[in-house]
Amino acid sequence: DGGITQSPKYLFRKEGQNVTLSCEQNLNHDAMYWYRQDPGQGLRLIYYSQIVNDFQKGDIAEGYSVSREKKESFPLTVTSAQKNPTAFYLCASSIGQDYSPLHFGNGTRLTVT
């Protein structure tokens, strides 16, 4: 079945370390997104990419970096510059045309201590 895979489901890191979250999709979607969710809050957009080798900052890009070298992959790196990295991270994709809906992965819960 086609879908979006985020791995790992839970991730633990020490403060000051960079960490990369994986997001892979086999839906042949052009657009991909990263959102952050804090407890009891909605989703906040970190980065998004409409095509390979191109991406744009969302509302809270500071302290994060992304790459889009392949259509199916959109990894997110949480750098040591991110002040409060502990959160639930969600990756999504869409066809990228017209009004196609977003398809989400099941998220990675990152804990930094």
Partner 1 sequence: DAKTTQPTSMDCAEGRAANLPCNHSTISGNEYVYWYRQIHSQGPQYIIHGLKNNETNEMASLIITEDRKSSTLILPHATLRDTAVYYCIVRLYRDDKIIFGKGTRLHILP
Q: Does 74 engage in binding with partner 1 (CB under 8 A)?
A: no
Q: Does 75 engage in binding with partner 1 (CB under 8 A)?
A: no
Q: Does 54 engage in binding with partner 1 (CB under 8 A)?
A: no
> Which of 83, 99, 97, 98 is CA-nearest to residue 36?
83
Q: Does 98 engage in binding with partner 1 (CB under 8 A)?
A: yes
Sheet of 76-78: strand order equals 4-7, 19-25, 76-78, 64-66
Is the omega angle on the peptide bond into residue 85 within 30 degrees of 0, that is, cis?
no
Which residues form the interface with partner 1 (CB under 8 A)? 4, 31, 33, 35, 40-45, 48, 50, 56, 58-59, 88, 90, 92, 96-99, 101-107, 109
